[in-house]
Structure 1
Amino acid sequence: MKTAVLGAGAWGTALADMLAKNGRKTVLWARSPELISQLRQHRENRTYLPGIPLSPDLSFTSDATEAFEGADVFLVVIPSQYLRSFLETHRDLLPHKPVMVCASKGIELGSLAPMSRVVAEALEGKEPRYAMLSGPSFADEVARECPTSVALGCEDQDLGKQLRELFSNSFFRVYSTRDYTGVELGGAVKNVMAIATGMADGLEFGTNARAALITRGLAEMSRLGAAMGANVKTFMGLSGMGDLVLTCTGDLSRNRQVGLKLGQGRKLDDIVGETQSVAEGVKTTRSLYDLSRKIGVELPITSQVYKIIYEGKNPEDAVIELMGRELKEE
């Protein structure tokens, strides 16, 4: 039995390497034959995770049939906006009732669907068993075996326990919960909040502003989660507050870096164009904004980030508007 890790960016590579070190037969799939050739030759992902040698037990392929064959767990680390098309393209390679562990974070544009719904719709008839892995976990630190704790959301409690055993080791600790909705929403919303806090830091607004944005960002996350059937307590844990703090304050955060550069006056197209990694929060800002309007949930920080990114609003004006909102009880 083996795990197929689908997506060889930094996070997919780090997780695949960790599973191989855990003694699990693991294959890492990437669409690009050139990237796979690099991985095989150097045993290092020099594009997305440079400087970190990969386990000699980890296999690589750009052949989806080879990757899927014999796998009993499919760990999907495809950027969220491409997840549906990837699954629809490869669904015939999947067995019935496949175990799909999603490590992609976002809300799909257009459908406004969280990743669980994307998986369910793309694999309709396959009866996928779904889990979501999320929490405060920079890929570089996981690959370097820094102590890390994350959450795994899985409605099937027994499967959740099996999966947490699969991923856990001496430096990577996994807590399971049945609230997969809360886990996946936390992972999506925190990226938008990281852009907001990055902008505040880029504008040199200070640590008071950063703390306020993180705290009120948690309020937005919880408000959205309650409207979508999540357990609000989930957002007090690793996939909520934990990931929010890390992504909003850690300079390894791609979304925070986008915000920092926006706050310094850089143009979004230039920022996105100069990096090969995906900052999920840019597109999630749009889908989250649209979702909030559709279901009638107030997300003031998200709304201002949307207006800055997609309507060209001045970041300083956005902060003034946030500070000038009607006063109310917390």
Structure 2
Amino acid sequence: MTQGIGIAGAGAFGTALAIALGRAGTPVTLWARDADHAARMQQTRRNAARLPGVDLPESVTVTAEIADLGGLDAILLAVPMQALAGFLADNRAVFDGLPLIACCKGISLQTGTGPTAIIAQVCPASAAAILTGPSFAADIARGLPTALTLACADRAAGARMQALLSTPVLRLYRSPDTTGAELGGALKNVIAIASGIVIGAGLGDSARAATMTRGFAEMQRLAKALGAETETLSGLSGLGDLVLTCTSEQSRNFRFGLALGRGQGFDAKVTVEGASTARAVAKLARAREIDMPLTTMVAAVLDGNCTISDATGALLSRPLKEE
């Protein structure tokens, strides 16, 4: 008999997953860092700030006590990528030994690794997985059909997690290639920023299409160098997520790029994982001598080392070559 699913992080995505699983009848314990926020959600049955108009099912319990996540069947980690290592280290006694599924996308600035490597290092007794792919929290919360990749190197553990987390409208495809799934989810955010810059700067949809295509080539290049299966990048966690985030203003990374392209400010409270990822990957690409011009230019623009105009000129003046 299932003990239920725990979700660490009551932001938009964590709450949306709680709603989706709760609607399917799964007992869910949703942990919120702020006690007042947790009490308000438990009482009102809504996350009004992040997902207005959507109610929490009765099978979802909101708590601010991290110990309430202990002993459950699996834990979804819906915390920011750059905070993941510290969060797991602080709560190792609760999590180590439980199946842990990362729901964050990015590369750690500190370690240069993805979330499953961090899980394996901090909680070595846990089966480590990542849930990633083309999805907006609002769509999941509304019950719209969504397909995601669940990547876990342990095939048996991955199959158990797939069965636990799939619902009639949330379809999970299983993969053993955690590296490829992580890189797809992380790198598409960088290309989404670049695509937003292109549109924000008025360079047009044709330029955006070229940015997406050449960005996808960069994603595959790095994935191959790091031992991932390039086929993984052609699936939901790579190409699928890339298309979604480069073409919709629901994407925080795309909106961030739009603001950059227009010379506008952006809400500092909004987490933009692609910004940290661009810096981490640009550093990694330099160290391994991997050609990633778009990623390098995004990092340079973010760090103020290059203007958008200069970046555009540098990319367009690169030597001509075969595709």
The residue number in structure 2 matching 1:316 is 309
1:1-330 counterparts in 2 under 5 A?
Answer: 1-66=3-68, 68-96=69-97, 98-123=98-123, 126-266=124-264, 270-273=265-268, 276-330=269-323
State the percentage of identical aligned residues: 39
Distance 1:94 1:110, change over 3 A: closer
Please say if residues 9 and 277 of structure 1, whose CA atoms lie closer than 8 Å, have aligned partners that are also in contact: no
> How many angstroms does 1:328 deviate by?
1.1
Q: Which amino acid aligns with 1:272?
A: D
> How many angstroms does 1:95 deviate by?
4.6
Please say if residues 12 and 50 of structure 2, whose CA atoms lie closer than 8 Å, have aligned partners that are also in contact: yes
> How many angstroms does 1:94 deviate by?
2.5
The 3-state SS of whatever aligns with 1:31 is coil
Measured in 2, the distance between the counterparts of 1:323 and 1:237 equals 29
> How many angstroms does 1:109 deviate by?
0.8
Please say if residues 2 and 71 of structure 1, whose CA atoms lie closer than 8 Å, have aligned partners that are also in contact: yes
The 3-state SS of whatever aligns with 1:251 is coil
When the two structures are aligned, how many residues end up with a matched partner?
Answer: 321
Measured in 2, the distance between the counterparts of 1:247 and 1:111 equals 25
Large movers: runs of 4+ above 6 Å: none
Segments of structure 1 that go 5 or more residues without pairing to the other structure are none
Measured in 2, the distance between the counterparts of 1:117 and 1:160 equals 16
Please say if residues 78 and 103 of structure 2, whose CA atoms lie closer than 8 Å, have aligned partners that are also in contact: yes
Measured in 2, the distance between the counterparts of 1:24 and 1:296 equals 47
Please say if residues 2 and 70 of structure 1, whose CA atoms lie closer than 8 Å, have aligned partners that are also in contact: no
TM-score (norm. length: structure 1): 0.94
Q: Which amino acid aligns with 2:167?
A: N
Please say if residues 308 and 314 of structure 1, whose CA atoms lie closer than 8 Å, have aligned partners that are also in contact: yes
Deviations 1:268-315 (A, max 9, x none): xx4132xx4311111111111111112221111000001111024211
The 3-state SS of whatever aligns with 2:224 is helix
Distance 1:169 1:94, change over 3 A: closer
Segments of structure 2 that go 5 or more residues without pairing to the other structure are none
Measured in 1, the distance between the counterparts of 2:227 and 2:126 equals 20
The 3-state SS of whatever aligns with 2:62 is strand
